[in-house]
Amino acid sequence: MTELELTTIAIVDKQLDAYNNRDIDAFAATYHDDVEIHAFPGGLQYQGKDKLIERYGQKFASLKYLNASSLKRMVEGNILVDHELAESATEDVNVIDNSVTVIAAYEVIDGLIKRVTFMGR
Task: Provide the H-helix boundaries in 21-48.
Answer: 24-28
Residue 33 pLDDT greater than 70, yes or no: yes
User: Model-level pTM greater than 0.75?
Assistant: yes
Give the contacts of 13 (CB within 8 A, at least 6 positions apart): none
Count CB-CB contacts under 10 A for residue 58: 11
**What residue spans define the domains of the chain?**
3-120
Structural contact between residues 112 and 32, judged by C-beta atoms closer than 8 angstroms: yes
- 3-120 topology per CATH: Nuclear Transport Factor 2; Chain: A, (3.10.450)
Q: What are phi and psi of 26, to 5 degrees?
A: -65, -40
Q: What is the pLDDT of residues 80-120, one digit of tens each?
A: 999 999 999 999 989 999 999 999 999 999 999 999 999 98
